[in-house]
């Protein structure tokens, strides 16, 4: 039984607690995944959230210190603005063998905090690519992560043994674990997540300014293009601010691309080709094994991630890799 503490029970942390709690009895989850048994405990700084989680039958403690005591894995699922405070609070309470991870949307600032306040060899930064426009425990779901990509960072000061242990836990939840440096992660998510949020807001404003007729005509393309504009603005603003070094150049490139587009034909053609590159389907996926005692394991994993690949399962001996041809 791996002892796990989840701190912060919003959309992500609440979903994690639900998912892990659903597995802790018999080592199999509701989807039949063969996972380790977990002894999981949750905590949230907000008493109402704790009550809500308890009312859902989840194991919740009233103090972070109690939740993390004896934990082998501590998952920090707090808003970005509260991350440093949470690390400061719990770092002194953790065992020297703990795996500390997080679920934040921007990874370099998390490592900055950890290198300042924590012991970086205990930390593996994480990011499940599984948000929605909703937030809070009420929106949480044990299924949120099924099939999702989940970045686990590999940095020069990462303890690869801890990384593998965490990869085993996360793949056991039905996720694809994608290895990446914090810098590569932040550059990628600026373009596939943070920009879409900013554009959704700008599009929604333009439609509303055009008036009630425009809103009455808005259909599928508007619905989808602006869905994430309903996200709590302070969350997205904090993410964009934390990732300003990538978001601003990505936005500038996008604006330049739009301004350089004359008749839009070539933009639309390139856009279609790019969109069709995404998720070409399982037939194009190749698979291989990688022993965890391989030399240069971290570099091999980072090369896998850069090639678009992921870890889909892990044992104490090897990792099952998958991805596009060439991984």
**Of 255-314, which residues contact a copy of itself (CB under 8 A)?**
255, 257-259, 261, 263-265, 267-279, 305-310
3-state secondary structure 223-274: HHHHHHHHCCHHHHHHHHHHCHHHHHHHHHHHHHHHHHCCCCHHHHHHHHHH
Q: Does 110 bind a copy of itself (CB under 8 A)?
A: no
Residue number, 20 or 195, with CB nearest to a copy of itself:
195
CB of 203 to a copy of itself, least distance (A): 6
Q: Tell the smallest beta-carbon distance from residue 161 to a copy of itself (Å).
A: 24
Q: Are 60 and 41 in contact (CB under 8 A)?
A: yes
The conformation of residue 28, written as its DSSP 8-state character, comes to B
Dihedrals phi, psi of 117, to nearest 5 degrees: -115, -25
Distance CA 279, CA 287 (A): 16
Site string for a copy of itself, 228-247 (x = CB under 8 A): xxxxxxx-xx--xx------
Name the one residue in this structure whose structure tokens are 């949307």: 105
The closest alpha carbon to 15, from 124, 135, 110, belongs to 135
Residue with smaller CB distance to a copy of itself, 57 or 211: 211
Q: Which residues contact 56 (CB under 8 A, 6 or more apart)?
A: 18
What DSSP string describes 85-106? HHHHHHGGGS-TT-EEEE--S-
- Work out whether 216 is an interface residue with a copy of itself (CB under 8 A): yes
Kindly state whether residue 254 participates in binding a copy of itself, applying the rule CB under 8 A: yes
Q: State the chain's maximal CA–CA distance in angstroms.
A: 63
Least Å from the CB of residue 253 to a copy of itself: 6
Least distance in angstroms from the C-beta of 111 to a copy of itself: 18
> How far apart are CB 233 and a copy of itself at their closest, in Å?
4
Q: And the tokens for 133?
A: 């426009």
The distance of closest approach from Cβ of residue 61 to a copy of itself in the complex, given in angstroms and rounded to an integer, is 31
Dihedral pair phi/psi, residue 287, rounded to 5°? -135, 145
> Nearer Cβ to a copy of itself, position 66 or 81?
81
Rounded Cα distance between 42 and 59, Å, is: 6
The residues in 111-140 that bind a copy of itself, with binding defined as CB under 8 A, are 129-132
Q: Tokens representing 86?
A: 């949470």
Q: How far is the CB of 132 from a copy of itself (least distance, A)?
A: 7
Q: Write out the binding residues for a copy of itself, residues 149-188 only, by CB under 8 A.
A: 149, 151, 176, 178, 180, 184-185, 187-188
- In the set 22, 148, 183, 285, which binds a copy of itself (CB under 8 A)? 148
How many helical (H) and strand (E) elements, i.e. helices and strands, does the chain have?
A: 14, 11
- Among the listed residues 1, 30, 210, 286, the single contact to a copy of itself using CB under 8 A: 210
Q: Which of residues 32-71 bind a copy of itself (CB under 8 A)?
A: none
Number of residues that bind a copy of itself (CB under 8 A): 94
User: Which CB atom, from 38 or from 163, has the smaller least distance to a copy of itself?
Assistant: 163
Instruction: Choose which of 96, 97, 221, 283 interacts with a copy of itself (CB under 8 A).
Output: 221
- Supply the DSSP symbol for 262: S
Q: Which segment (17-25, 51-59, 190-198, 312-320) binds a copy of itself by CB under 8 A? A: 190-198
> Rule CB under 8 A: is residue 198 a binding residue for a copy of itself?
yes
CA separation, residue 215 to residues 200, 210, 235, 292 (Å): 14, 8, 26, 55
Strand partners, 318: 291
């Amino acid at each position: 039984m791996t002892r796990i503490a989840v701190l912060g029970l919003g959309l992500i942390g609440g979903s994690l607690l639900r998912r892990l709690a659903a597995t802790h009895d018999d080592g199999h989850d509701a989807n039949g995944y063969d996972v380790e048994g977990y002894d999981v405990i949750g905590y949230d700084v907000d008493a109402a959230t704790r009550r809500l989680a308890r009312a859902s039958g989840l194991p919740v403690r009233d103090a972070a210190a109690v939740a993390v005591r004896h934990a082998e894995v501590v998952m920090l699922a707090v808003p970005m603005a509260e991350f440093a405070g949470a690390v400061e609070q719990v770092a002194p309470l953790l065992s020297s063998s703990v795996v500390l991870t997080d679920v934040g949307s921007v990874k370099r600032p998390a490592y900055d905090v950890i290198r300042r306040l924590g012991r970086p060899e205990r930390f593996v930064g994480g990011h499940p690519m599984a948000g929605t426009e909703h937030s809070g425990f009420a929106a949480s779901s044990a299924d949120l992560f099924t099939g999702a990509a989940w970045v686990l960072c590999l940095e020069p000061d990462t303890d690869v043994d801890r990384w593998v242990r965490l990869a085993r836990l996360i793949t056991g939840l039905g996720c694809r674990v994608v290895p990446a440096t914090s810098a590569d992660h932040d550059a990628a998510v600026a373009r596939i997540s943070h920009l879409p949020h900013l554009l959704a807001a700008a599009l929604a404003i333009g439609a509303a300014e055009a008036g009630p007729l425009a809103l009455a005509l808005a259909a599928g393309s508007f619905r989808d293009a602006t869905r994430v504009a309903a996200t709590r603005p302070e969350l997205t603003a904090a993410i964009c601010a934390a990732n300003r070094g990538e978001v601003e150049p990505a936005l500038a490139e996008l604006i330049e691309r739009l301004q350089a587009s004359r008749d839009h034909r070539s933009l639309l053609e390139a856009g279609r080709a790019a969109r069709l590159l995404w998720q070409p389907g399982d037939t194009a996926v190749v698979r291989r094994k990688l022993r965890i005692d391989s030399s240069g394991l971290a570099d091999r994993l980072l090369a896998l991630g850069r090639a678009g690949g992921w870890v889909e399962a892990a044992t104490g001996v090897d990792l099952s890799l998958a991805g596009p041809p060439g991984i």
